[in-house]
Structures are given as structure tokens and as C-alpha cells.
């Protein structure tokens, strides 16, 4: 029985010694080979002095070394911090400093891109490079090549399944990304629940397209390794590459978010690439019916599984494939080993068809936000009481999402309480976009971002900018500066340069009126 995250490799290697675990381009690793690499790096991290719960960031694209690093860090009793490979230096700096990362695993080109911020990361002591050594002039920073990081074989260590295993960074509604702390129990329970309703087996081949810094992306790895399946690693560039990869490796399970699905449906699919797909899943936003229809026509033998989740509790609900036509627009019901409730502000259960907040309880509920007691207290609160006499209160995630439940218990999404923008499967805070503008272009006096519904992106970002009065820099040049400080998914679709922004009676920018105005002008449902 798997108890800890790294046992997803070690125990499966015992059962499926020579089974292919990972495929990357022309490289393949069996579970036994993967376990050897994990054990070697884990002992090396231990030799470097990694202590229990020390944070190790992994800033890489989807490579075998990325997967090895996650499990080795866990084996060495550290906490792995996946950093999305599309993030730029300012966002990476925030993550490294926010959770006091001691060790960074990355590549030589990415390290060069971080050179300007390394001196501003005081906790960072060691960098492990996965490709080649380079000289970086940062005092006291040690740099090693991953193949040279080794040590004595590690003995058994004492730990509990509720120990911190990982920190996944997700955008917050009021500024910079915040770290969701996941335990070993969270990660293993998530793999067990998802693999149960997807009916994963060792015969499955899963294509990992999504960022591994997403819980949804990481889930492709955990569910596969729990069941002895094979994972094909692919960073998404062109839809045609996906078609070729699925055909070459006879992929049986495919997961994506709505904007990615829409791009994939524009590709030229062959029968050899589509006939063997057993299921496809969607999360990260509602699936447009026209897109769902196109996917089902493209993959006639695949079962659609529509899901809803949040990083704070992994996956909350799913709609089984046989109910997709019968329960159009539904989020489904709770995943195995979880309970999902719809409650009023006082915690009492809502009536049928009465909108309320979605609350999730069970082993998937994370340990809270790293180093942020206030935000943790807002989102993680005692579960609505159903049993009298309990002395200890169980914590649940209060999602901030408004849903309703029909008479048969099926859930339907209504809306969000906060101003978060859900674009291309990413959660983006308006303040993140605005902060990037201020950091990227000194000519920006004020910036306001908001989201509007969009057929392709889910939501599109609208950015309104007021230049400083003494600026003579062209609008397009200012915008280019701003974009350079943002990852691509944060780039605005609509941009307005204004002379001023409306104010409320308190003198603050009237965000609600700007949001309303943007929706009237740009929104496409």
C-alpha cells in the first residue's frame, strides 16, 4: 500500500520492474531505472545537507530529470516546489523567496535567465544543473551537475503521511501567487481517487501535456505511477506534434483545459491517432458544448470525463461519461473519498437549486497556504458540522465558488466570489498583471486589469493603462515592456491607454465600473 509520494515509484518498481514508466522523445525509462535515478539523487540531496521539509524548487520543462527530481526530493524528506517553466525571473524570484528555497534544480539556460535575481534570493544555497555546468558569479552559491550529486545510500527515515511533500503556487485574488502546501496524504489520495474513476491500469499510456506545476498536470504522473501505467512527456508547442505523439505511442488517456482542447481540435487528426484513445478529461474551466462535440467526434471510442477542482483540494467533482448527455452543464458529484457540500454563509446546507458556496472535506484538503496565516484562515475553515459530540473540528476548503445542487445531487457552477481571471486554464490575479506592468515599464502611472468571458480562452484579460504625464514613449513600446515582464498566459488580449481612470467617493480606482464597461465592450460568451 502506498503511503508516501515517493513510494509511487519505489513500490511500483517492485511490482512492474521492467515496465516502461516514462517516455521523452526517443528516451525511455523503466520503473526500475527510474527508481535507481530517484534513489541516487535522493542520497545526493541528503549528502548536501537537505533537512526534513526543506524546500527544493524545480524550474524545468517536462523532462525525465524533472520527474526524477520531484520524487528524489520527496525521498530525501524535502518538499518539492514545481516552478512553471514559462514564468519569468520576477515571478521565479517571488517563489524562491516566499518559501525560502535552499536548493534549485534547473538548466544552464534558465539559470542564465535568473542571473539578475539570484543575489536577491538569500536562502538559496545550491543550484543543481541537469545539462551542463556554467559559471555564474554569485557569492556563496554552489553549483553542481545532477549526475555528480550523490552520496551514501539512505536508510529508512521516520515520517508521517501528513508531512509536507510539495508546495504548488497558484494565483491569489489580491496579488502575488501563494503556495498551497500539499501533504503526502493529499498527493496519494488524489492519485487513488482519480485512478479509480478513470479506471487506470498498467495498460494505459497517458500524455502529459499540462504544466507539472498544476495539480491537474501533476496528476497525470501520480495516477500513472500508482497503477503502473506509462507517461509520455511533451511540452505543448504545435497541435501537430500532439497528433504525432499520440499516434506514435498509442496514447489511451488525454487531459487538457478548454483553450488547449480548442487548439487541438484545429489539427488534422488521423484514425491511427484517435482510435485507441480510451478517455479524455477536462478541468480548469467549463467545456463549451461545441468543443465537447468536436472532441467526441474526433475520438469516437473515448469516454469524456468532465471534472472540477481547485489546487487547495486537488479534485472535487467529476461527471461520469455516461451522464454527459443527460446532465448537460453539470460538474457532476464528489470524487471518491471526498464530500462536497453546498452551504450558506452560516454553514447551513442549501436547499435544492439554492446557490451557495462549495465546501470540500476529506483527505484531499491541503495543509493551507505557505507562510500566510490570514489567507489560510479565510479559505480553510471548520467543515459544516454534521455529527454532534466531536471534540476536534475537521478543516475543510471553502472554495469561494458559488454552485447549486439539483434534486438528484448533481452540482452546477454559478460563479466566483472574487475577481480572479481564469484564462487558458491558469488562475491569474488582476494585481499580478498590474504589478508586472509597474515592474516592466517605469512609464506606467496606473494599470488596471480585469477579465471578460471569451470563447477561446475562457476569460480574456483586459488591461487599461495610464501613462505618466511626462512620458513621451510610444504606447506600443510601453506595452512591449509590460509584456516582457509577464509570462505569455498573462498577456492581455485587449489593451486601452487612457488619460485617467474613474474613481469612487473614497478616491480609489472604481474597478467595478471598469469591469462592467469592459464586459459590455469586449465580452464574448
Do residues 387 and 444 both lie within one domain? no
Same domain, 396 and 428: no
CB 357 within 8 A of CB 399: yes
In this structure, what CATH number is given to the domain that contains residue 412? 2.30.38.10
| CATH number reported for the structural domain that contains residue 478 in this entry | 3.30.300.30
Instruction: Looking at the structure, tell me whether residues 205 and 343 fall in a common domain.
Output: no
Q: Is residue 213 part of a domain?
A: yes
178 with 48, same domain: the answer is yes
254 is a domain residue: no
How many whole angstroms separate alpha carbon 480 and alpha carbon 76?
A: 43
Instruction: Report which of residues 238 and 416 the model is more confident about.
Output: 238
Residues 73 and 97 in one domain: yes
Confidence class for position 385, pLDDT limits 50, 70, 90:
confident
Choosing from 235, 255, 289, the residue where a domain stops is 235
**CATH classification at residue 165:** 3.40.50.980
Q: Which pLDDT tens digit goes with each residue over 415-469?
A: 776 677 889 888 888 888 988 898 899 999 889 999 999 988 989 999 999 998 8
Contact yes or no for 312/379 (Cβ under 8 A): yes
Residue ending a domain, among 416, 440, 455, is 416
Residues 412 and 427 in one domain: no
Residues 409, 465 within the same domain: no
CA 167/CA 403 separation, integer angstroms? 27
pTM for this model (two decimals): 0.86
What's 312's DSSP letter? G
pLDDT tens digits, one per residue of 249-281: 999 999 998 878 988 999 999 999 999 999 999
Decide which of 385, 416, 447 is a domain's last residue: 416
CB count, 10 Å around CB of 511?
A: 16
Q: Sign (positive/negative) of CA torsion 226, 231, 235, 241? A: negative
How many domains is the chain built from? 3
Q: With bands split at pLDDT 50, 70 and 90, how would you rate the model's confidence at 354? A: very high
The domain of 448 spans 421-522
348 and 475 housed in the same domain = no
Question: Do 203 and 159 lie in a common domain?
Answer: yes
- Residues 407, 485, single domain; the answer is no
Transcribe 40-89 into DSSP letters: HHHHHHHHTT--TT-EEEEE-SS-HHHHHHHHHHHHTT-EEEE--TT--H
Does residue 324 sit within a domain?
no
**First-residue to last-residue Cα distance in the chain:** 47
The pLDDT confidence band at residue 285, using thresholds 50, 70 and 90, is: confident
| 262 in a structural domain | no
DSSP-derived 3-state class of residue 135: coil
Percentage of the chain surpassing pLDDT 90?
76
Q: Are residues 454 and 372 in the same domain?
A: no
Residues 56 and 203 in one domain: yes
Amino acid at each position: 500500500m502506498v503511503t508516501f509520494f515517493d513510494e509511487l515509484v519505489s513500490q511500483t518498481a517492485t511490482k512492474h520492474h521492467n515496465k516502461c514508466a516514462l517516455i521523452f522523445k526517443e528516451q525511455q525509462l523503466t520503473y526500475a531505472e527510474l527508481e535507481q535515478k530517484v534513489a541516487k539523487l535522493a542520497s545526493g540531496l541528503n549528502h548536501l545537507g537537505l533537512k526534513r521539509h526543506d524546500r527544493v524548487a524545480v524550474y524545468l520543462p517536462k523532462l525525465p530529470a524533472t520527474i526524477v527530481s520531484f520524487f528524489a526530493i520527496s525521498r530525501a524528506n524535502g518538499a518539492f516546489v514545481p516552478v512553471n517553466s514559462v514564468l519569468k525571473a520576477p515571478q521565479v524570484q517571488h517563489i524562491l523567496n516566499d518559501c525560502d528555497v535552499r536548493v534549485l534544480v534547473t538548466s544552464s539556460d534558465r539559470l542564465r535567465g535568473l542571473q539578475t535575481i539570484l543575489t536577491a534570493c538569500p536562502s538559496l544555497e545550491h543550484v543543481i544543473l541537469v545539462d551542463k555546468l556554467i559559471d555564474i558569479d554569485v557569492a556563496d552559491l554552489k553549483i553542481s551537475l545532477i549526475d555528480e550529486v550523490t552520496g551514501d545510500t539512505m536508510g529508512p527515515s521516520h515520517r508521517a503521511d501528513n508531512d509536507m511533500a510539495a508546495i504548488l503556487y497558484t494565483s491569489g485574488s489580491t496579488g502575488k501567487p501563494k503556495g498551497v502546501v500539499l501533504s503526502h496524504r493529499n498527493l496519494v489520495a488524489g492519485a487513488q481517487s482519480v485512478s479509480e474513476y478513470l479506471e487506470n491500469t498498467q495498460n494505459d499510456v497517458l500524455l502529459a501535456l499540462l504544466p507539472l506545476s498544476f495539480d491537474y498536470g501533476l496528476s497525470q504522473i501520480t495516477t500513472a505511477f500508482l497503477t503502473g501505467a506509462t507517461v509520455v512527456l511533451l511540452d505543448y508547442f504545435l497541435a501537430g506534434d500532439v497528433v504525432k505523439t499520440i499516434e506514435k505511442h498509442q496514447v489511451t488517456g488525454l487531459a487538457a483545459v478548454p483553450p488547449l482542447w480548442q487548439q487541438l481540435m484545429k489539427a488534422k487528426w488521423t484514425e491511427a491517432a484517435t482510435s485507441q484513445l480510451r478517455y479524455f478529461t477536462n478541468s480548469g474551466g467549463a467545456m463549451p458544448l461545441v468543443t465537447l462535440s468536436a472532441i467526441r467526434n474526433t475520438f469516437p471510442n473515448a469516454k469524456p470525463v468532465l471534472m472540477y477542482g481547485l489546487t487547495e483540494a486537488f479534485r472535487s467533482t467529476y461527471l461520469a461519461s455516461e451522464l454527459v448527455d443527460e446532465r448537460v452543464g453539470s460538474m457532476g458529484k464528489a470524487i471518491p473519498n471526498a464530500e462536497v457540500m453546498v452551504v450558506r454563509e452560516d454553514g447551513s446546507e442549501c436547499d435544492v437549486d439554492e446557490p451557495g458556496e462549495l465546501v470540500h472535506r476529506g483527505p484531499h484538503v491541503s495543509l493551507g497556504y505557505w507562510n500566510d496565516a490570514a489567507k489560510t484562515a479565510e479559505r480553510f475553515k471548520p467543515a459544516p458540522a454534521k455529527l454532534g459530540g466531536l471534540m476536534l473540528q475537521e478543516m475543510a476548503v471553502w472554495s469561494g465558488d458559488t454552485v447549486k445542487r439539483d434534486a438528484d445531487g448533481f452540482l452546477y457552477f454559478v460563479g466566483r466570489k472574487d475577481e480572479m481571471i481564469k484564462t487558458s486554464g491558469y488562475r491569474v490575479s488582476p494585481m499580478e498583471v498590474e504589478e508586472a506592468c509597474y515592474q516592466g515599464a517605469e512609464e506606467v502611472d496606473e494599470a488596471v486589469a480585469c477579465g471578460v468571458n471569451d470563447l477561446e480562452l475562457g476569460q480574456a484579460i483586459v488591461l487599461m493603462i495610464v501613462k505618466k504625464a511626462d512620458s513621451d514613449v510610444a504606447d506600443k513600446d510601453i506595452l512591449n515592456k509590460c509584456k516582457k515582464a509577464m509570462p505569455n498566459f498573462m498577456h492581455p488580449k485587449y489593451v486601452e491607454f487612457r488619460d485617467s481612470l474613474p474613481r469612487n467617493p473614497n478616491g480609489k480606482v472604481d474597478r467595478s465600473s471598469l469591469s462592467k464597461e469592459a464586459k459590455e465592450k469586449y465580452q464574448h460568451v
